[in-house]
Amino acid sequence: MSSEPTPAGMNYLNFPKGIKSWLCTLDHKRIGIMYLLFICISFALGGLFALALRLEHLNPGPLLFTAKQYNQLFTLHGAIMVFLFIVPSIPASLGNFILPLMLGAKDVAFPRLNLASLYIYVIGACFCVYSMIAGAADTGWTFYTPYSSTTDTSVISMTLGAFILGFSSIFTGINFLVTIHKLRAPGMKWFRMPLFVWALYATSIIQILATPVLGITLLLLILERSIGVGIFNPALGGDPVLFQHFFWFYSHPAVYIMILPAMGVISELVTTFSKKDIFGYKSIAFSSISIAIISFLVWGHHLFVSGQSDFADMLFSLLTFLVGIPSGIKVFNWIATMYKGSISFETPFLYFLSFLALFCIGGFTGIMLGSLSLDVYFHDTYFVVAHFHYVMMGGVVMAFLGGLHYWWPKMFGKMYSEFWGKIACAFIFVGFNMVFFTQFILGAKGMPRRYFNYLDQYQPLHAFSTYGSWVLGVGFLIMGFYLIDSLVNGKKASDNPWGGTTLEWTTQSPPIAENFLETPHVTQGPYERGKVAH
């Protein structure tokens, strides 16, 4: 943190000045902004790969790529989107920026650890980029053995990248956990914390407990590939299904690392734009925590056809239904929040509505996949691809975009074009459904995933899905333009443009380096209205 106080009229963006002051900053806001930049670059890269993959499927037969290149592309798309974009997306960028502000704190508990997590992220990303250049891995982001133990592509650098990125994730988790415990403003009791904070708390628990398992697993895979220790490869006396258990023991909870912060953002959006206190505060807060706990007990639902025992299949199916309940509770509470409110339809709220619709579809299809006999049919088909894109992109990305538009004025002190914001949201919503709803039908018709080529009968559906990807791409292009434009030409944002009630809206936009001129004293719940002007 800068030793001298911020002069009047200056803010965290322009004081202190210089590239070094950014690279060595300990300010959570600057770290959040840098994370945001890298995350957006990763998203753009992963998105370009996705467009290329869809283009390849315009017609059956080779169009742009060879089978191997196609396999490398979908691996890169998955690995980049999961490890470089979606896991850090909301916590590391929006969370880093907003969490201390929401708590009324000056910074996170360990500012240096925070900066370290950013640099570790960059180092991890470098390994992934290196892997791209040096014969990109073609294993899928799941790295299933023994394929990954035997392929001649650069699996080691990619897994090492994911291994390193795990530490970045763990550091952020530890930092948030301690910050939430120790740095709440005077008077902010546990049940006076905003729900975004509860969501980040639950996320941090999973990050700290689950990520090491992924690290160990990937390290074992690296050992197997490099010095031939037989753990997963049957040719060396290993067990390939063991890898699948280890991998999903992290990667299923990781799904909740992604969706929990998104749910936190959604809670903020619905209360602010309905001008109404949240409905069922404790239900939403506790459902976050229960999701965090149950999420550790459902990994086996990725292995229903992999040869675990029928008894294990039964248990994992039952627990999978259980983990769906808290998500349902949240949806009901968000809808009830709008009751007797005063709802305004600004861009962030449109993303809330998009989230609600898409996440529900993701949830309903999740119930189908959780039922054992149906999963036998749908497993590893486009139905699964569509399902997790509805949850990951329709859920997490919509919430991320909603949060980005919601806090953009706070982050940069500028308003973006509301008109173009709505247009872009419409393109993204329509394009998304064109791409992925089609894939539910493809999957139900039996189209397996990760197929370079496909039977002629699937062509019309594949082509329609590809057209949708262009609509989606246009939406993101528009968004890129008006967001960058707002930094230069945007109207100056007021301190509280949406009428939010949480503490970040009580300080100036953009905030000063110390966040608040005076430490806030909290005397009421996070969403209580009456004392807030709008």
Q: Which residues contact 228 (CB under 8 A, 6 or more apart)?
A: 236
Selected from 129, 229, 318, 522, the binder of another protein by CB under 8 A is 318
The binder of another protein chosen from 44, 113, 216, 331 (CB under 8 A):
331
CB contact burial 279-302 (16+ within 10 A = b; e otherwise):
bbbebbbebbbbbbebbbbbbbbb
Cβ at position 233, least distance to another protein in Å: 9
Least distance from another protein to the Cβ atom of residue 520, Å: 22
307 exposure class (CB count in 10 Å sphere: 0-12, 13-18, 19+): exposed
- Residue 518 as a binder of another protein (CB under 8 A): the answer is no
The correct pick among 140, 212, 230, 497 for binding another protein (CB under 8 A) is: 140
* Residue positions counted in the chain: 534
Query: Looking at 223, 305, 477, 484, which residue binds another protein (CB under 8 A)?
Result: 305
Binding mask 37-76 for another protein (x = CB under 8 A): ------------------------xx---xxx--x-----
Contact 106, 514 (CB under 8 A): yes
Residues 455-484 that bind another protein (CB under 8 A): 455, 457
Binding-site size, another protein (CB under 8 A) = 92
Of 162, 26, 39, 165, residue with least CA distance to 92: 39
Out of 117, 375, 397, 405, the only residue in the binding site for another protein (CB under 8 A) is 375
Please, which residues bridge with residue 491 across strands? 415
Judge contact between 254 and 316, C-beta under 8 A.
Answer: no
Q: Select the span of 190-198, 333-341, 394-402, 404-412 touching another protein (CB under 8 A).
A: 333-341
Residues numbered 144 to 163 that lie near another protein (CB under 8 A) are 144-147, 150-151
| C-alpha atoms less than 13 angstroms from C-alpha of 147 in its C-beta half-sphere | 10
For another protein, the closer of residues 283 and 506 by Cβ is: 283
List strand residue ranges (DSSP E) for 224-280, in order. none
Please give the Cα distance from 275 to 269 (Å, whole number): 10
Is there binding between residue 130 and another protein (CB under 8 A)?
no
What is each CA distance from 120 to 64, 86, 127, 211, in whole angstroms?
35, 16, 11, 15
Q: Are 204 and 128 in contact (CB under 8 A)?
A: no
Site residues for another protein, 352-371, by CB under 8 A, read 353, 356-357, 360-361, 364-365, 367-368, 370-371
Q: Decide: is 379 part of the binding site for another protein (CB under 8 A).
A: yes
Lookup: tokens for 269: 């959006």
Exactly one of 18, 226, 227, 373 binds another protein (CB under 8 A); which one?
373
Between 371 and 508, CB nearer to another protein = 371
Q: Which stretch binds another protein (CB under 8 A): 5-13, 175-183, 443-451, 505-513?
A: 443-451
Specify the stretch interacting with another protein by CB under 8 A; choose among 117-125, 257-265, 312-320, 508-516: 312-320
* Rounded distance between C-alpha atoms, residue 444 and residue 411, angstroms: 44
Q: Measured from the CB atom, is 54 or 276 closer to another protein?
A: 276
Q: Work out which of 119, 190, 191, 345 binds another protein, going by CB under 8 A.
A: 345
* CB of 292 or CB of 513, closer to another protein: 292
Asked if residue 524 binds another protein (CB under 8 A), the reply is: no
CB within 8 Å of 18: residues ≥ 6 apart: none
The closest of 219, 288, 205 to 247, measured between CA atoms, is: 219
99 vs 284, beta carbon nearer another protein: 284
Tokens of 25: 């900053």
At closest approach, how far in Å is the CB of 319 from another protein?
Answer: 10
- Count CB atoms within 10 A of the CB of residue 115: 20
Sort 322 into a burial class: Cβ within 10 Å, 0-12 / 13-18 / 19+: middle
Indicate which single residue of 329, 423, 426, 430 sits in contact with another protein (rule: CB under 8 A): 329
Q: Does 325 bind another protein (CB under 8 A)?
A: yes
Figure out which of the listed residues 328, 419, 460, 484 binds another protein, where binding follows CB under 8 A.
328
Instruction: Tell me the window of 17-25, 36-44, 188-196, 342-350 that interacts with another protein (CB under 8 A).
Output: 342-350
Within residues 189-228, the interface with another protein by CB under 8 A covers: none
